Amino acid sequence: MSDAKISSGLSRRMFMTASVSAAAVMPLVNSPTRAAQPASAKPAEPRDLSAVSMRINKQTYNLALDNRTSLLDALRDHVGLTGTKKGCDHGQCGACTVLIDGKRVLSCLSFAVMNQGREITTVEGLASAEGELHPVQKAFVDHDAFQCGYCTPGQIMSAIGCINEGHAGSEDDIREYMSGNLCRCAAYPNIVAAIVQARDETRRA
Amino acid sequence: MNQAAPAPRENQGDPVVRIDARLKVTGQAGYPADIVTANVAHGALATSSIARGKVSELHTKDARAVPGVLDIVTYGDLDKTDMPKFGNTGASSIGPLHDKTVFHDGQIIALVVAESFEAAEEAAMLIRADYEDERPSASFDSKGVKMEPAAGKSPMFKEDAKAGDFDAAWADATVKIDEKYSTPTQHHNPIELFSTTAMWQGDQLTIHEPSQNVTGWKVELARQLKLDQANVRIVSPYIGGAFGSKGPMTARTAIVAVAARRIGRPVRCVVNRMQAFGTQTYRAETRHRIRMGAGKDGRITAFGHEAWEVTSRPDPYVVGGTSATARMYNYGSVLTHVSLVHADRNTPGYMRSPPETPYVYALENAMDEMAVALGMDPVEFRRINEPEKEPIGGKPFSSRSLIKCYDQASEAFGWSKRDPTVGSMRDGDWLVGMGCATAIYPTAAAPCAARVRLTADGEVRVQCGSHEIGTGVRTIAGQMAAERLGVGMDKISVEMGDSALPPAPVSGGSISTASVCSAVMKACDAIREKLFAAAAGKGAPLAGSANAKLDLKDEEVVTETGKSAKLADVFKAMQVGAIEEYAEFAPKGSSPEALSKLYAGQSEFHGGENDEDSVKYAFGAEFVEVRINSYTREIRVPRIVGAFAAGRIMNTRTARSQLMGGMIWGIGQALHEATEIDQRHARYVNRDLQDYLVPVNADIKQVDVILVPEIDHQVNPAGVKGLGELGNVGTAAAVASAVYHATGKRIRDLPIRIDDLIG
């Protein structure tokens, strides 16, 4: 860090590298103060910042991020959307599942800067503006498809992906295609029942 | 109604939807690492790469040179703090930065604090240590381990249970079993990562960390940091799975607090999955020798249970599950002995049914072996040995519905269709096996405080420093208040998981429902008394009615004869806007200082086998079908049925979910979970969720839970037995029994894997 004062922590200015196009409440986040590289510049050093613009839950975010920052950490630490959870950071548990351009992706395995121009949907973006739950969210409530609730955002995003992919045809299919999302409380039978209900509701709609 | 919401039977509450369900499906439930705070710095741990020896020199130059690094907390930086203590609140006596001694692999050697998570991780990886290393002892068979009798080494395990003359009975027994069993090392692996966020405001410290014991941690952290307890607050409103792992506080909490004070900024340290294996607790491996003697009539005459448990060098962590196995059946004589084996390992800790999971696994396996040796149906064998009184102290059971559980589960399972001949049931390429086992868990409660406020508009706020670890305790505390105060669940709010709230005991030992509900009930009853006195007073709406004949329903005070007065009118008559009551509950038999100990962060447990009047347990029976592919030996569990009796069930939805999750844990114990140890380096090998196997959705098919009605007024005022740890007891033995039935192979060492069944 070039600014030696930072180590004392006292003189440090709050510095926002994120800007939001819509009039959303800004989360209190911080990033190093160095200037951001445009994303199209020649291959950057890992520690450098790059500019990246993403649509997250239908809002545009312009961010300057460390090239090593995962999409998961960008959402949680830089955008302030903490509904998406970190359970392993290695793509092994599924808790960080989000939709990128409608497809389910493990956000811990995606560098944020790889998502320039993409449309990201997180659990916070599912319910309607009036507060009506998404059919999958409602089905998870109806079938008690969670206990501690920590893996739940990832399960819900993955369930939406699973239904959209057409992999929710049978209970066995659901079990197979939802096995990338661990639930240590082991609500699995309830998760399957919830996805069956949501699938049927989605088909009717 | 769907399967998740079973219709309540006698003494069972409605399947009310979780009070926090909406928050959990919308991502709004705030887990401790979710707290958004200005100016937060990120912490990353560096850990030892040896298991025994000393750090001779720590090299931090490269790490400090990483741009964005703010500080490195290491040896010497905690000198002004006190060492951690091992006990109910502290995970271990090892103070990793107080002393350069290395007690186990993966011990904390430094905490890096940086502007960003990425910089902190990069720098932590650049820290190098020189060691004076010694050859470590990894586990039971390693050279250099120290073995000692467990009895008396821990307040949790005072003595080895025994009864009658085992030696004589064993010598005389007609049919004998003498077998050895073992269970592996296991890590809780809740999906939420362990984390600490520390913030100072002057002398006031707030810690956001997933915790099952906020009051205990407040007291212990204040002691370590030499702070006034009033200046320490632990906040943990939602916990992403605990299973015991977030019960005791680890050394990290104080280290992160020190770092935050040094840099004058909040610090968040989210421990990566790999480092959690060595910096948190775990279930240690156990070994068992069971000797069982019986007569030809199937009556057990001799039961011997010897066991060995691994612990760390400095701490006598013991689970001692012989307390339960020795009281399970009507044995003629009992001899037990538990030994501790000290190795170069981190200190183990509570993991869901800490004593019962390994010990009852061994016992129930032996029961199945004995039934086979006797040529007897395993359910019938248990029925014959059903005790009137427990065999050690001769005390009655406060209630015991084990046979009812067996009857209801075996009928639902279709046990009568089982052909007992080994290997006789087959479906195409699949060998079919069926087995069963008993579940048992001690029923305990501990002192607990709660504050309840009712306002004239019928709104109720419940405050209690307990912990919502996924059990549904927030919901059932609300249900208890709704029932006693006659309001709908939509009028209830429940605050938990904050040491600023009235203190509650550690959320462990399946005591929360009983302890919290008893305290909430007491506070509500005090509010009722005030309302009734006012409603029936002179000139009041229901003047002249006897207090005892009044009740609260639909936001009205009602009389037996059908008269009623609106809550708002009673409040008006009282000329108050809110009635607030603070209640303290202490279980029967509590010491005179039990409640003051609650405020000092100590939970005095009562119940189980320790009460004078009776022994208190919840019971269950589990039946499992396994299918084993005759070519590949792949093991599947297509269905499992469990019937459980646990006194009053507050909410059939949350109860079923917990028992179902427990049974799936049991399947994991049987077939999946094991932490592998590199014996040369005393190091955990499979330190991630790819190689540490837990059940996934595709491993589980049909899971049926039967809630058997049971009424027990002796256990506690709420009549509740805990059930969070009941479901995964016995399951592994039921699976092992089914595997034997399918294949004729008796697997005594968990987990049961394909390679055990080949050849």
Q: What is the pLDDT of residues B260-275, one digit of tens each?
A: 999 999 999 999 999 9
| ipTM > 0.85, yes or no | yes
Token output for B156? 């949790």
A104 and A176: one domain? no
Do A61 and A101 belong to one domain?
yes
Question: Which candidate from B3, B116, B658 shows the least CB-CB separation from A32?
Answer: B116
Estimate the crossing angle of helix A188-204 against helix A152-165, to 10 degrees.
50
Claim to verify: residue B630 and residue B537 sit in the same structural domain: no
Specify if B12 maps to a domain.
no
Together in a domain, B57 and B93 = yes
Residue A77: inside a domain, yes or no?
Answer: yes
Query: Would you call B240 and A150 a contact, using CB atoms and an 8 Å cutoff?
Result: yes
| Cβ within 8 Å, pair A85-B264 | no
Cβ of residue A70 closer than 8 Å to a chain B Cβ: no
Per-residue confidence at B1, pLDDT binned at 50, 70, 90? low
Residue A83 lies in domain:
12-125
Closest partner residue to B238 (CB to CB) among A1, A149, A187 is A149
* Any domain includes A112: yes
Q: Is B306 a catalytic residue?
A: no
Burial class (CB in 10 A: 0-12, 13-18, 19+), A45: exposed
Q: Which residues in chain B have their CB less than 8 angstroms from residue A92's CB?
A: 273, 688-690
Number of domains composing chain A: 2
Q: How many other C-beta atoms lie within 10 A of the C-beta of residue A165?
A: 13
CATH of the domain at B275: 3.30.365.10
Residue A20 has pLDDT above 80, yes or no: no
Under an 8 A CB cutoff, do B27 and A14 touch? no
pLDDT at A4: 35
Shared-domain flag, residues A46 and A108: yes
How many C-beta atoms lie closer than 10 Å to residue A42's C-beta? Answer: 5
pLDDT digits (tens, 9 = 90+) for B392-406: 999 999 999 999 999
Let me know whether A64 and A149 are in one domain.
no
Residues in A touching B688 (Cβ below 8 Å): 88, 90, 92
Residues 6+ apart with CB under 8 A from B426: B432, B630
Q: Residue B247: its pLDDT value, please?
A: 97
- pLDDT score for A43: 64
**Residues 89-148, chain A, touching B (beta carbon < 8 A):** 89-90, 92-93, 95, 122-124, 126-127, 133, 137-138, 140-148
Single out the residue in A125, A144, A162 at which a domain terminates. A125
- Alpha helices, DSSP H, located in A32-151: 71-73, 135-142
pLDDT greater at residue B687 or residue B560? B687
Per-residue pLDDT tens for B480-508?
Answer: 999 999 999 999 999 999 999 999 999 99
Q: Are residues B589 and B516 in the same domain?
A: yes
Burial of B248 (0-12, 13-18, 19+ CB in 10 A): buried
Nearest residue to B467 via CA among B506, B425, B411 = B506
Nearest CA in chain A to B119: A47
Q: How many CB atoms neighbour CB B155 within 10 A? A: 10
Predicted confidence at residue A8, as pLDDT, reads 33
Shared domain check, A139 and A120: no
B86 inside domain: yes
Counting the structural domains of chain B, the total is: 3
Give yes or no for a contact between B748 and B456, defined as CB atoms under 8 angstroms apart: no
CA torsion B293-B407-B617-B664 (nearest 10°) is: 100
Q: With an 8 Å Cβ cutoff, are B690 and A92 in contact?
A: yes
Banded pLDDT at B711 (limits 50, 70, 90): very high
DSSP-assigned letters across all residues of B438-486: EEEEE-EE--EEEEEEEETTS-EEEE-B---SSS-HHHHHHHHHHHHHT
- pLDDT at res. B508: 94
Q: Are B207 and B259 in contact (CB under 8 A)?
A: no
Tell me: do B617 and B561 sit in the same domain.
no
Verify whether the Cβ–Cβ distance B115 to A30 is below 8 Å: yes
- Looking at residue B156, its pLDDT comes to 84
Confidence of residue B331 (pLDDT cuts 50, 70, 90): very high
pLDDT band at A41 (very low <50, low <70, confident <90, very high): low
Question: Do A107 and A157 reside in the same domain of the chain?
Answer: no
Q: Which two tokens stand for residue B613?
A: 């009047």
H-helix segments, B492-511: none
Amino acid at position B286, single letter:
T
Examine the pLDDT at A36 and tell me if it is beyond 60: no
Averaged pLDDT, A69-97: 97
- Is A24 domain-assigned? yes
Residue contacts between A and B (CB atoms, under 8 Å)? 235
Task: Supply the pLDDT for residue B539.
Answer: 81
pLDDT at position A38 is: 54
Both structure tokens of B399: 């209630």
The residue out of A125, A158, A184 marking a domain boundary is A125
Domain encompassing residue B494: 446-606
In whole angstroms, give the CA distance from residue B485 to residue B480: 8
Element (H, E) at B322: helix B322-325
Q: Tell me the pLDDT of chain B averaged across its residues.
A: 97
Q: Cα(B468)–Cα(B454) distance, rounded to whole angstroms?
A: 22
* Contact yes or no for A184 and B694 at CB 8 A: yes
Residue A1 lies in a domain: no
Does B572 lie in the same domain as B458?
A: yes
Distance from CA of A197 to the nearest CA of B (A): 11
Q: What is the pTM of this model?
A: 0.95
- Measured between alpha carbons, how far is residue B256 from residues B71, B197, B229, B248, B359 in Å? 11, 7, 18, 16, 37
Tokens of B517: 């509900």
Over residues B221-240, mean pLDDT: 98
Query: Are residue A102 and residue A169 in the same domain, yes or no?
Result: no
Mean per-residue pLDDT, B319-328 = 97
What confidence score (pLDDT) does residue A10 get?
Answer: 31
Alpha helices in B603-752, H assignment, sequence order:
652-671, 731-743
Among B232, B258, B279, give the residue marking a domain's end: B279
Of residues B189, B657, B696, nearest to A147 (C-beta): B657
Q: Is A78 on the interface with B (CB under 8 A)?
A: no
Domain boundary among B264, B279, B294: B279
Beta strand B204-208 with B426-427 is unpaired
Contact B650, B476 (CB under 8 A): yes
